[in-house]
Structure 1
Amino acid sequence: MSKVIHEFNDIIRKLRKDLFGKGPERIHTVFTENMAISTLYGNLTPTEKFICQSPDGTEMVHMARTKMIQKVYSENLPEGLEEVVGAKLVHLFSDIKVKEDIAVSVFVFDKNISS
């Protein structure tokens, strides 16, 4: 894994740990053109897993996770995110499959970030 991807993943992990109390257990990120595509495994806290025992709880955790991430990135970018890739973040698309505990985030930047 390149140093830049490793630093990028560390920023994502720290933000999610600070936000939710637990960061992902594993992150796989690829850079392609002007995008960073991150797959995050093992995201949910024990409390979220408990809440997900009902369909309503699963929907609540899904909405909270996706909306919270989008809000945080739109209001206050994680420190160093744009610096590590050398480009400005333009859009973030994020979703989580709660039952499988897998999340995907697609970061779209204003210029090519792949080397």
Structure 2
Amino acid sequence: MSKVIHEFNDMIRKLRKELFGKGPERIHTVFVENMAVSTLYGNLTPTEMFISRSEEGRDMVHSARTKMVQDVYSESPPDGMEDLVGAKLLHLFSDIKIKENIAISVFVFDKNIADKLNGH
């Protein structure tokens, strides 16, 4: 794994840990054109897992997690993220599958980051 991907994943993990009290157990990120696509595994806290045993609880955890993540990134990206990739973060699209405990985040930047970061 490249140093940039490792640092990018660490930023995501740190922010999620601050927000929810637990960061993802594993993150896989790929850079494609002007996007970073991150798949996050093992996201839920024990409390969220307990709450999500019912359909109503799953909906509540899904809504809270998705909205919190999008709100935080819309206020400002994590410290150093834009410097790391050399581009300005424009949008974040994020979703989570509660039963599978897998989330995906698509970070959209203002210019192509893939060529530089993938070593081309």
The TM-score bracket by the shorter chain reads: over 0.9
Determine the structure 2 residue equivalent to 1:75.
75
Report sequence identity in percent: 77
Determine the structure 1 residue equivalent to 2:30.
30
Aligned partner letter, 1:44:
L
Gaps of 5+ in 1: none
Quick check: 1:6 aligned with 2:6?
yes
Mapped to 2, the partners of 1:6 and 1:53 lie a distance apart of 33
Aligned partner letter, 1:46:
P
SS in structure 1 at match of 2:114: coil
Mapped to 1, the partners of 2:40 and 2:67 lie a distance apart of 16
Mapped to 1, the partners of 2:107 and 2:77 lie a distance apart of 12
Gaps of 5+ in 2: 116-120
Determine the structure 1 residue equivalent to 2:118.
none
Determine the structure 2 residue equivalent to 1:62.
62
Aligned partner letter, 1:52:
S
Determine the structure 1 residue equivalent to 2:40.
40
SS in structure 1 at match of 2:24: coil
Quick check: 1:100 aligned with 2:82?
no
SS in structure 2 at match of 1:11: helix
Aligned partner letter, 1:108:
V
Instruction: Kindly report the root-mean-square deviation, in angstroms, between the aligned alpha carbons of the 2 structures.
Output: 0.6
Mapped to 2, the partners of 1:76 and 1:35 lie a distance apart of 17
When the two structures are superposed, what TM-score results if normalisation uses the length of structure 1?
Answer: 0.98
Mapped to 1, the partners of 2:13 and 2:52 lie a distance apart of 22
Displacement of 1:9 in angstroms is 0.3
Aligned partner letter, 2:76:
N
Poorly superposed stretches of 4+, deviation over 4 Å? none
Displacement of 1:77 in angstroms is 1.8
Q: Could you list the per-position Cα deviations for residues 10-64 of structure 1 after superposition, in whole angstroms to 9, with x for gaps in the alignment?
A: 0000000010000000000000110000000000000000000111000000000
Aligned partner letter, 1:84:
L
When the two structures are superposed, what TM-score results if normalisation uses the length of structure 2?
Answer: 0.94
